[in-house]
Amino acid sequence: MNKTETLEPLLTALCGAPPPSQLAGHLAALAQEVRVSRGGSAPLDHRRDLFVYIAQGSTKLVASASAGREQIVAFHFAGDIVSVPAHSLHSYSLNALEPTHLLIFPASEMHAAIAGNPAVLTGLLQRVLTALHRCRDKAVGLGRKNAGERVASFLVGMAERIGHAEGGEITLDLPMSRRDIADSLGLTIETVSRQFSEMRSAGWLRTQGRAHVRLLQPATLAAHAGHVELRSP
Amino acid sequence: MNKTETLEPLLTALCGAPPPSQLAGHLAALAQEVRVSRGGSAPLDHRRDLFVYIAQGSTKLVASASAGREQIVAFHFAGDIVSVPAHSLHSYSLNALEPTHLLIFPASEMHAAIAGNPAVLTGLLQRVLTALHRCRDKAVGLGRKNAGERVASFLVGMAERIGHAEGGEITLDLPMSRRDIADSLGLTIETVSRQFSEMRSAGWLRTQGRAHVRLLQPATLAAHAGHVELRSP
DNA sequence: CGTGCCGTTGAAGGTTCTCAACCGTGGTGG
DNA sequence: CCACCACGGTTGAGAACCTTCAACGGCACG
């Protein structure tokens, strides 16, 4: 599969229609195509703003504060677009959770390339807005929720993105480790593990091996996620 | 001052050039112009995605989790653009920190209006990206920093946005209360107050009344903000 | 079959929260 | 003019939640 073909789903998703082949070719010329193995980190040029398209696989965007403390800012799955700024208060890296296929674009050149196509530009804006809103929700969780609520939020959120509904239950295959979950929720692995244990014994979920999770009571879980209640007064 | 005139600085900032007057007129027709007094909240229609332009004053974007817990997601000052999604996991409101002048746009119609002007569209994208990157930095702070580092980060960040350099010192007039700071940093007002006291006695800053802060040692403060160190190995 | 990593569970400790009292300021009304 | 009150900020003591430190179990891989 060549770069242009890899790009097609991206463009289709962005503008909601089959893309003009000229644009696809133009973008393909800009893109650096990279395959990253599980645990590897994407070769990012931190001197310039970037967009990264996740063609296949899944990634985590990791920020490092001082003293080696790490915070996972977001998880991404196939089809997602990630924005990585040139330099920031914290140093960012993009790591693969499984064998992953990426297209890396310099932001300024991508802007120029799609400037003539408002539909694509608007689509990109929409993606960035979604990322912003997810990040805000994460900030609420990190600032104002306890460990149980954070883990419940995480599971509910992942269920929406990569879960498979089966009757009233949802099954999940989590590509990330407990450490990743902890680093994403601002907790320690031990606390995450304890929360999983409590939820297991409460009958809210069942786990199989490291990755497989079955949410037995998604509604209960959602109710304990600390989201604003859709009240019936 | 009419709406079109209020819009001009926005458009100039977005595309880096004097705006075509036709576009300004078109956008002005979309905008709902609102003045909000100190402490008041903007009349947002939560049924649709919105952009809000802060023409004058300053605001806080507040998210409510369940049980009345509030997290301030961002502060905004004159010239900023805020994106407010239709509905989210948490309920958002935009509150004025001082008498504030706003222009409220329905997102979809704004998209349509500026679709023909790639420079403006790209400028808007740039603003949203900046917001995303700030939100990520906030997430790092909320997830992985202690109280002292959070307050130091806050002061350093505010100094960049609304501070006045005077020799090696920086003076600030904070429009937000201690409660707002606490709600922004995921702490309690008591903890914020204690951190201010410690920094005062350490000689890092001096306060006058509620709002006025003078950073005596901005570099020391920045060093204690827990950002990644720019090391010389 | 040994090794190493990841996940789980337990006990002790620390940072922040909660509850409470006090202080200073600004506005109001007698 | 001053007393009073309301509100925001400061300071202190105890409690709660999460972290830290430690040990153990299990699965994958060489």
Q: Which of A89, A143, A149 sits opposite B71 (nearest CB)?
A: A143
Residues of chain B positioned with their CB less than 8 A from the CB of A66:
226-229
Decide if pLDDT at A106 tops 60. yes
In CATH, which superfamily holds the domain spanning B3-142?
Answer: Jelly Rolls (2.60.120.10)
Interface with A, mutate which of B140, B185, B229 (most A CBs under 10 A): B140
Cα A207 to Cα A233: distance, rounded to the nearest angstrom: 37
Q: Which of A65-74, B36-45, B139-148 has the lowest mean pLDDT?
A: A65-74
pLDDT at B232: 33
Asked whether strand D has any atom less than 7 Å from the CB of B83, the reply is no
Of B91, B118, B144, the CB nearest to A65: B144
**Strands B205-208 vs B212-215: parallel, antiparallel or unpaired:** antiparallel
pLDDT tens, position by position, A109-129 = 999 999 888 889 999 999 999
Residues of A in contact with B185 (CB under 8 A): 143
**Which of B94, B228, B229, B231 would you mutate first to test chain A, the one with the most A CBs within 10 A?**
B228
When pLDDT is cut at 50, 70 and 90, the band that residue A232 belongs to is very low
Helix runs in A16-80, H state only = 21-30
What CA–CA distance (Å, rounded) separates B32 from B102? Answer: 8
CB pairs < 8 Å spanning A and B:
160
Q: Give the pLDDT band of residue A1 (cuts 50, 70, 90).
A: low
Best of A70, A136, A145 to mutate (most B CBs within 10 Å, chain B): A136
Q: What b-and-e string marks burial along A149-184, b requiring 16 or more CB atoms within 10 Å of the CB? A: bbbbbbbbbbbeebbeeeeebbbbebbbbeebbbbb
Mean local confidence (pLDDT), B140-156: 96
Query: Are B88 and A128 an interchain contact pair (Cβ–Cβ within 8 Å)?
Result: no
Nearest CB neighbour to A71, from listed B66, B133, B140: B140
- The whole-chain average pLDDT of chain B stands at 90
Average pLDDT over residues B59-87: 92
Contacts of B116 in chain A (CB under 8 A): 118
Percent of chain A clearing pLDDT 70 (strictly above): 96
pLDDT above 80: residue B91: yes
Asked if the model's pLDDT at residue A146 lies above 90, the reply is yes
Q: What CATH code would you report for A146-223?
A: 1.10.10.10
- What is the nearest CA distance from A97 to chain B, expressed in angstroms? 20
Instruction: Please provide the size of chain A in residues.
Output: 233
Residue A118: both structure tokens together? 């408002």
Residues of A in contact with B85 (CB under 8 A): 129, 133
* Span CA (A88) to C1' (D9), Å: 33
A159 pLDDT band (50/70/90 cuts)? very high
Rounded to 10 deg, the angle between the B147-162 and B189-201 helix axes is: 80
The protein footprint on chain C, as nucleotides within 7 A of a CB, is: 6-11, 15-20, 25-26
pLDDT surpassing 80 at residue B123: yes
What confidence score (pLDDT) does residue A228 get?
65
Q: Is the confidence at residue A231, as pLDDT, over 60?
A: no
What is the predicted pLDDT for the residue at B144? 95
Average pLDDT, chain A: 91
Return the domain boundaries, chain B. Answer: 3-142, 146-223
pLDDT of residue A134: 95
Least confident of A1-5, A156-160, B73-77, B184-188: A1-5
pLDDT of residue B2: 78
Lowest mean pLDDT among A3-12, A166-175, B95-104: A3-12
Average of pLDDT values for A61-77? 91
Higher pLDDT, A210 or B107: B107
Q: Provide DSSP, B62-82.
A: EEE-GGG-EEEEEEEETT-EE
pLDDT at A84: 96
**Mean per-residue pLDDT for B152-181?**
94
